[in-house]
Amino acid sequence: MRLNLLRVRNLRCLVEAELAPAPGLNLLTGGNGAGKTSLIEAVHLLGYGRSFRGRVRDGLVRGGQTALELFAEWQDGQGRRRRVGLRHTGQEWEARLDGAPAPSLTELCAELAVVTFEPGSHELLAGGGEHRRRFLDWALFHVEPEFLPVWRRYARALKQRNALLKRQPVAAALEPWDQELAQAGEILSRLRSAYLARLEPVLASTAEEFLAELGRPGLRFQPGWRREEQSLADALLLSRERDLALGYTSLGPHRADWRVEYPALPGREALSRGQEKLTALACVLAQARAFAADRGEWPLVCLDDLASELDRVHLARALTSLVGSGAQILLTATEMPDLLAGPLAPQARFHVEQGVPRPL
């Protein structure tokens, strides 16, 4: 997947910005508040329907404006030229995909695959389970056709069951939703567990390239109930009294989680802050690699302010591992890191000032 053109209007400080990235490594430099992260946010928004700094309604639209507008043109793995346009007010949106109206944001996000590592990405290890579920589900959404319908089934059944639980229904009223939840939930869990099993060796080889000192990382899946001991149907039945008292469904795949384990470390808490970031980066890059292996094309890789996150040695190793891969990369930094020379020299450089990126 190769992004040829990005146009942004009225997103944070970007009044009217245009970026035409090259294949390979693109470096965006500029001072604090210049708009580098906002450009990455624009790409991320097309890939996820939300920013990594919150929803569109949480301040993404430029002050004094009613909507932001994005346009992107890229080439997919088969060499086809694709186009997407999005207008978003924070409440309402309108989108076009290849010239036709897009029926949903989900449809849009299925087309442009983006992985992002930014200063908040250490939340993948340190934050709540929703970050890690989102990570898992992004991959499945893109590579597993069975995933989205089953995820929707599960989400709908969960909403209905939770609404019922609040009303203290008779047990029989819960039956159909328990059944639906159990059926969809078992499939969801199987898909997630299989994905993590596929990701584990990819993560190990990625971490080996720039984080070998910690040993081979493993991935442990937590399905959201005691899956090795009981079916989800049984678990739901057993937790019914408690769920009625709580007024919501206390177990199931919506509570799933996963974690990275290093054999020589007692737990995540033993990681230094830098090691936590490197591990999160390894997870993100492994996910991009696994995507490339499954789909035969790389997602667009966005790395915001990586140099301020990593020391020089780890930064060089991480970039070397990526740059050789053929992925298109958008990398932001306040200044050009001096290690970006020789084989790590960017294919294109842009300087961002007051929300305007200019090619150098």
The answer to whether 35 is a known ligand-binding residue is: yes
CB 355 within 8 A of CB 15: yes
54 is annotated as contributing to ligand binding: no
Determine the size of the site formed for ligand ATP (CB under 6 A): 15
Of 25-33, 173-181, 244-252, 267-275, the segment contacting ligand ATP by CB under 6 A is 25-33
Q: Is 32 annotated as a binding residue?
A: yes
Q: Is 59 among the annotated ligand-binding positions?
A: no
Kindly report the CA angle at 289 between 284 and 290, in degrees rounded to 5? 95
Q: Is 238 in the site for ligand ATP (CB under 6 A)?
A: no
Residue 189 in contact with ligand ATP, rule: CB under 6 A: no
Residue 59 vs 201, nearer CB to ligand ATP: 59
The one-letter code for the residue type at 295 is: R
Cα 197 to chain centroid distance, Å, stands at 19
Per this entry, what is the length of the chain? 360
Q: Which is nearer to ligand ATP, 119 or 247 (CB)?
A: 119
Residue 60 or 286 with smaller CB distance to ligand ATP: 60
Shortest reach from residue 119's CB to ligand ATP, in Å: 8
When asked if residue 13 is in the footprint of ligand ATP (CB under 6 A), the reply is yes
* Residue of 4, 250, 325, 334 that binds ligand ATP (CB under 6 A): 334
Q: How far is the CB of 304 from ligand ATP (least distance, A)?
A: 7
* 88 touching ligand ATP, by CB under 6 A: no
- Among 3, 8, 26, 37, indicate the residue that binds ligand ATP (CB under 6 A): 37
Q: Which of 35, 85, 217, 337 touches ligand ATP by CB under 6 A?
A: 35
Q: How many CB atoms lie within 10 A of CB 316?
A: 16
Compose the 279-318 pattern: x for residues touching ligand ATP by CB under 6 A, - for all others: --------------------------x-------------
62 binds ligand ATP (CB under 6 A): yes
Q: Are 67 and 89 in contact (CB under 8 A)?
A: yes
- Give the footprint of ligand ATP on this chain (CB under 6 A): 12-13, 30, 32-38, 59, 62-63, 305, 334
